[in-house]
């Protein structure tokens, strides 16, 4: 079959060899993209992150005692493959430097899978973790996982009272002041912080050996990580909240109201099998929160939330071959399809090529036109018209995806997609903040002082 991918004419004076190589590379890349196009027109790649998401998936399974032996074997193989041969720990990006939180999560996950702590790779990892201050130096999200498995006391994490969900919009620290990904992670996490459930931990895994000091003996866990006055203020607030969390809030009537408010936030945003916020940490916290509240495994919401986590496992054997599966933080079909189409157009594919039109039609149909998401808190009268990053994430479209898709539709056929373009332009213009800029997900979400709270150390 003859390729329809062409390279635009180069400038005069360019090396013929370079032109030929560039042309061949562009042609091959274009053909590869088109070969990945699915029947409905879209393209989606795997979204690989770091060791933390596969480790958290293992945590979730062992919290629930819902093990998946074959998958966990592959996840263990995947985690071991990411371990640095240089420093012995796990980085946040390929061949990156040591990261304490990623290393603690990966090490503990491997312990759950049965890796012997005296195996060479575990000794190397443990030595690296201890050399960097031990697991007590890991970030807040890591320490919450450790608390759920009884590895550290609950005073080892910043207070995150579920009563936060009751705070009105005018209150300086309310749920709407947080970024979308933090908002969706925090809502179920506050339930876990209130109930303090204990993971089932079927393998009775422990990671005490990666602490420099026994966790129960550590006096100070939370610090002013910014060194600012706001940071010191919030650190003192945290010190006051901890005893209140333990002795006062659980006895108050509004605790039940707050938990219900959190559930009321989560329910309309469950997002089917695409999950709360369409990001794994929020989904996993939701499953654990439902479990802590006593939801049965056959409860509709529990099934939906757990299914959303399972869907992030890479299952494309045709693409992966014999490589072990891993867990993605989310999926990226809108972004992948729109950028692929732009690239094909740059390579000379005609705008009226049926495969380009199929991409654009698929994107047009995923424009969010009838849901006013969290962005509407600060723009209640604005007409919806954005795109999300994932297949469905109707409460959280973003400006950058919307701009890239809108530019593509205008570039391909401004008449065919006129209404979609109009809605996108109106929505983007209405999303401008008072300071003149745009945030990806929210308007005027610039409460920078919240970056100084103990919870925001990650």
Contacts of 390 (CB under 8 A, 6+ apart): 274, 278, 330, 331, 332, 333, 334
Which uninterrupted H or E stretch holds 129?
helix 120-131
Residue 130: closest CA among 87, 76, 78, 84: 87
Tens of pLDDT, residue by residue, the chain (458 residues): 334 544 445 555 556 665 567 777 888 888 889 999 999 999 999 999 999 999 999 999 999 999 999 999 999 999 999 999 999 999 999 999 999 999 999 999 999 999 999 999 999 999 999 999 999 999 999 999 999 999 999 999 999 999 999 999 999 889 999 999 999 999 999 999 999 999 999 999 999 999 999 999 999 888 888 888 888 888 888 888 888 888 888 888 889 999 999 999 999 999 998 999 999 999 999 999 999 999 999 999 999 999 999 999 998 766 667 889 999 999 999 999 999 999 999 998 999 999 999 999 999 999 999 999 999 999 999 999 999 999 999 999 999 999 999 999 999 999 999 999 999 999 999 999 999 999 999 999 988 888 878 777 66
Q: Please say whether the beta carbons of 291 and 200 come within 8 A.
A: no
Residue 40: closest CA among 317, 361, 316: 361
What integer pLDDT is reported at residue 10 of this predicted model? 53
What integer pLDDT is reported at residue 7 of this predicted model? 46
Determine phi and psi for 3, rounding to 5 degrees: -75, 145
3-state secondary structure of 385: coil
| 206-226 per-residue burial string, b: 16 or more CB within 10 A, e: under 16 | ebeebbeeebeebeebbebbb
Q: In 196-253, where does DSSP find H-type helix? A: 229-247
What is the spatial distance between Cα 319 and Cα 329, in angstroms, rounded to a whole number?
Answer: 18
Angle at alpha carbon of residue 295, lines to 292 and 300, rounded to 5°: 135
Residue 181: closest CA among 454, 361, 445: 445
Give how far Cα 116 sits from Cα of 70, 74, 108, 348, Å.
19, 17, 11, 55
Q: What is the pTM of this model?
A: 0.92
What is the spatial distance between Cα 194 and Cα 199, in angstroms, rounded to a whole number?
Answer: 15
What integer pLDDT is reported at residue 366 of this predicted model? 98
What is the spatial distance between Cα 282 and Cα 46, in angstroms, rounded to a whole number?
Answer: 19
Q: Please say whether the beta carbons of 149 and 199 come within 8 A.
A: yes
3-state secondary structure of 212: coil
Angle at alpha carbon of residue 282, lines to 298 and 180, rounded to 5°: 140
Name the DSSP letter for residue 276.
Answer: G
What integer pLDDT is reported at residue 16 of this predicted model? 60
Q: What is the per-residue DSSP string for 388-454? A: -SSS--TT--BHHHHHHHHHHHHHH-TTTTHHHHHHHHHHHHHT--TTS---SS-SS---GGGGGSG
- Burial (CB count within 10 angstroms: exposed 0-12, middle 13-18, buried 19+), residue 355: middle
Please tell me which residue in 361, 400, 413, 444 is annotated as part of the active site.
400
What integer pLDDT is reported at residue 24 of this predicted model? 78
Most distant CA pair in the chain: distance in Å? 79
Angle at alpha carbon of residue 38, lines to 93 and 393, rounded to 5°: 60
- Establish whether 40 is a catalytic residue: no
| Residues linked to residue 419 through DSSP beta bridges, in sequence order | none
What integer pLDDT is reported at residue 193 of this predicted model? 96
Complete domains list, the chain, with CATH: 16-45+332-430 (1.50.10.20), 52-315 (1.50.10.20)
Q: What is the per-residue DSSP string for 125-160? A: HHHHHHHTT-GGGS-HHHHHHHHHTTSS-GGGS---
- Burial (CB count within 10 angstroms: exposed 0-12, middle 13-18, buried 19+), residue 273: middle
Name the DSSP letter for residue 132.
Answer: T
């Amino acid at each position: 079959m003859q390729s329809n991918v062409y390279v635009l004419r180069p400038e005069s004076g360019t090396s013929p060899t370079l032109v030929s190589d560039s042309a061949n590379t562009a042609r091959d890349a274009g053909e590869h993209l088109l070969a990945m196009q699915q029947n409905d027109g879209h393209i989606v790649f795997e979204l690989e992150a770091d060791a933390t998401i596969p480790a958290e998936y293992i945590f979730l399974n062992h919290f629930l005692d819902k093990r998946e032996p074959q998958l966990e074997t592959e996840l263990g193989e995947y985690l071991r493959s990411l371990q640095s041969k240089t420093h012995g720990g796990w980085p946040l990006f390929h061949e990156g430097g040591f990261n304490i939180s990623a290393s603690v999560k990966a090490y503990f996950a491997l312990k759950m899978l049965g890796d012997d702590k005296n195996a060479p790779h575990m000794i190397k990892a443990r030595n690296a973790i201890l050399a960097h201050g031990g697991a007590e130096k890991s970030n807040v999200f890591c320490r919450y996982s450790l608390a759920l498995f009884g590895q550290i006391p609950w005073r080892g994490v910043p207070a995150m009272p579920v009563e936060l969900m009751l705070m009105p919009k005018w209150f300086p620290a309310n749920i709407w002041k947080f970024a979308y990904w933090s908002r969706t992670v925090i809502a179920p996490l506050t339930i876990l912080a209130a109930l303090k459930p204990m993971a089932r931990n079927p393998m009775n895994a422990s990671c005490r050996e990666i602490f420099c000091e026994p966790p129960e003996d550590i006096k100070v866990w939370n610090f002013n990580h910014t060194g600012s006055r706001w940071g010191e203020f919030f650190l003192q607030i945290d010190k006051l909240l901890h005893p209140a969390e333990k002795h006062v809030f659980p006895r108050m009537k509004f605790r039940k109201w707050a938990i219900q408010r959190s559930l009321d936030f989560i329910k309309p945003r469950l997002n089917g099998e695409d999950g709360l916020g369409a990001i794994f940490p929020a989904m996993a916290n939701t499953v654990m929160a439902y479990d802590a509240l006593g939801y049965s495994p056959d409860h509709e919401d529990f099934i939906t939330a757990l299914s959303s986590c399972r869907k992030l496992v890479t299952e494309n054997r045709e693409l992966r071959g014999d490589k072990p599966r891993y867990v993605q933080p989310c999926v990226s079909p809108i972004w992948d399809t729109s950028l692929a189409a732009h690239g094909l157009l740059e390579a000379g594919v005609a705008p009226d090529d049926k495969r380009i039109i199929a991409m654009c039609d698929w994107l047009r149909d995923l424009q969010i036109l009838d849901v006013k998401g969290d962005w509407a808190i600060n723009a209640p009268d604005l007409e919806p018209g954005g795109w999300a990053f994932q297949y469905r994430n109707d409460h959280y479209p973003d400006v950058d995806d919307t701009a890239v898709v809108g530019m593509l539709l205008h570039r391909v056929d401004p008449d065919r997609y006129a209404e979609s373009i109009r809605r996108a332009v109106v929505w983007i213009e209405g999303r401008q903040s008072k300071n003149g800029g745009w945030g990806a997900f929210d308007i005027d979400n610039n409460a920078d002082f919240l970056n100084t709270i103990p919870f925001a150390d990650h």
